[in-house]
Structure 1
Amino acid sequence: MSKRIVITGASRGIGNETSKRLAELGHQVIAISRSKDLLNQLKDEYPSNIEPLALDITDSSAGETISQYLSDNSVKIDGLIHNAGVLINKPFSEQTRSDWQKQFEVNLMAPALLTKDLHEFFNSGSHIITISSMGGYQGSSKFPGLSVYSATKGGLSILTECIATEFSDKNISCNSLCLGAVQTEMLEQAFPGIEAPVEPEEIAEYISEFILNGHKFYNGQILPVTLGDPG
């Protein structure tokens, strides 16, 4: 049975590959990103399964824009993947208020507000996934330069537990996947020359399977997805 999934950060990396994988499986994806051109390229590849929606998730009107789209098209959704993220690799003592604000808004505030604004459009049995990081997983190794990023991702994981509790009476599940290093453009920009053990296509296959079936076994869980202990 085809499901309808919303994915943020869908123009590049993990979000892009997850959108493709779900489309290949025959599901309908509402792909969200700031880049209209890249979203249209994704749409061209999968014209029957991708619906692009270009917007900045940190805009105060983002939730209203998505809600209006869903309402105008009489759409209910079965899943939401909070994949969009930003990483600023900088020593803690050099992180500015602007650095804090940018990472906080993208990595934590936007997922919280979008979930709140879209909750009325979820079908019973829906699944929300937050894409966190091993850097935000309690007890994992921590790395210099990732203090703010890790803090926001840790907050995202705790938010996941809270959403699962808040929505339990609506039969809506929420889980957090704390990913280790994946060879994405964001990682390469933050750590030039790094070689991660996992490719975006590989983790996209895992996330696609998890959004479709993971809520049958998990709810309110913070799950490490790593081959070692990278942040």
Structure 2
Amino acid sequence: MAKKTVIVTGASKGIGLAISTYLLKQGHNVVATARSGHLLKELLHEYPKQLAVISGNIANAHIAYNILEAATENFGRVDGLIINHATLEPVVRIADSRVEDWKKCFDVNFFGAISLLEATLPSLRSSKGNIILTSSGAARHSYTGWGAYCASKAALKSLGDTLAVEEPDIITMSIEPGTVDTDMQKDLREKHISVMDEKDQKKFMSLHEDGKLAKPEEPGHLMANLILNASKELSGQTFRWDSEIAAPYREVDK
């Protein structure tokens, strides 16, 4: 396979780090961006010719063009975009929430994606590239206190649906990684658990205690394979990483 260049947001931890590491090991180029860009220092040392790192908050619109510039100056093209960053906060009931906090959430989870698309769509059209939006079951199911997150993820899914219609030369998919052993799950248990309903508290605590959280590499490696090889009929679809439709792109334990 020809070497490809993929932009990955939220790349310093969890799923984003798993995606980036997998792509680099396969010989591809990665432009990784995260607020905690310093956490990618070790990966940059290991893959200095394949990896470019942009640190910053994706809510700042100019960051998107810095990312595009890093891709084109270092690698000459953009073949894939994985919009993986997200914030869960504010975790608060709607009656107790402030509109300013909801706007901050949407600036990251939704408008940050818009900025990236504005910057990269011309390049992705040229390469007939792929786009993955990291979605969530929260786009379809509501949890007490998660109003801003759920709404922003629902908006992101709608964005992906529209993009697939408007950009027929680009394959756009929304992937639900399920419940994954990441910092977001840790924050749910340690910081936000009291806000949620009792049944949801029990659900998320037991998933951790019973060892039922997915490892970041499980959805991460699937998403890496999809950004490289997805077939055209997947464009416009939303599916879980462990669904039947994703099976051809999942790694099989040997």
Aligned residue number for residue 68 of structure 1: 69
Q: Does 1:47 align with 2:48?
A: yes
Aligned residue number for residue 188 of structure 1: 186
Aligned residue number for residue 119 of structure 1: 121
Give the number of the structure whose residues are more often strand, by fraction. Answer: 1
State the identity as a percent. 30
Counterparts of 1:36 and 1:178, CA distance in 2: 24
What is the SS of the residue equivalent to 1:150? Answer: helix
Counterparts of 2:74 and 2:240, CA distance in 1: 36
Task: Tell me if structure 2 keeps the 8 A contact 1:5–1:80.
Answer: yes
**The one of 215, 225, 234 aligned to 1:199:** 215
Aligned residue number for residue 144 of structure 1: 144
Counterparts of 1:104 and 1:226, CA distance in 2: 27
Aligned residue number for residue 213 of structure 1: 229
Amino acid at match of 1:93: A
**Structure 1 residue 226 displacement after superposition:** 5.7
**The one of 118, 136, 144 aligned to 1:133:** 136
What is the SS of the residue equivalent to 1:176? Answer: strand
**Structure 1 residue 74 displacement after superposition:** 6.2
Counterparts of 1:63 and 1:209, CA distance in 2: 24
**The one of 67, 89, 92 aligned to 1:90:** 92
**The one of 177, 195, 206 aligned to 1:179:** 177
**Structure 1 residue 179 displacement after superposition:** 2.6
Runs of 4+ in 1 over 6 A off after TM superposition: none
Task: Report the more deviating stretch, 86-95 or 64-73.
Answer: 64-73
Aligned residue number for residue 24 of structure 1: 25
Counterparts of 1:72 and 1:50, CA distance in 2: 12
Question: Where does the alignment leave 5 or more consecutive residues of structure 1 unmatched?
Answer: none
TM-score using structure 1 length: 0.88
**Structure 1 residue 71 displacement after superposition:** 4.3
Task: Tell me if structure 1 keeps the 8 A contact 2:33–2:67.
Answer: no
Task: Tell me if structure 2 keeps the 8 A contact 1:30–1:53.
Answer: yes
**Structure 1 residue 45 displacement after superposition:** 3.3
Counterparts of 1:73 and 1:21, CA distance in 2: 19
TM-score using structure 2 length: 0.80
Task: State the aligned residue count.
Answer: 222
What is the SS of the residue equivalent to 1:47? Answer: coil
CA distances 1:85-142 after superposition (whole Å, capped 9, x unpaired): 00022222222223201210111111112111111222432000100100103xxx43
CA distances 1:46-87 after superposition (whole Å, capped 9, x unpaired): 333221112221113122322333444462111000001000
Counterparts of 1:93 and 1:42, CA distance in 2: 43
- The alignment's C-alpha RMSD in Å is 1.9
Task: Tell me if structure 2 keeps the 8 A contact 1:131–1:176.
Answer: yes
Aligned residue number for residue 33 of structure 1: 34
What is the SS of the residue equivalent to 1:142? Answer: coil
Task: Tell me if structure 1 keeps the 8 A contact 2:12–2:40.
Answer: yes
**Structure 1 residue 202 displacement after superposition:** 1.5
Aligned residue number for residue 109 of structure 1: 111
Q: Does 1:222 align with 2:238?
A: yes
Counterparts of 1:217 and 1:66, CA distance in 2: 29
Give the number of the structure whose residues are more often helix, by fraction. Answer: 2
Aligned residue number for residue 252 of structure 2: none
Task: Tell me if structure 2 keeps the 8 A contact 1:175–1:220.
Answer: yes
Amino acid at match of 2:167: F
Task: Tell me if structure 2 keeps the 8 A contact 1:161–1:221.
Answer: yes
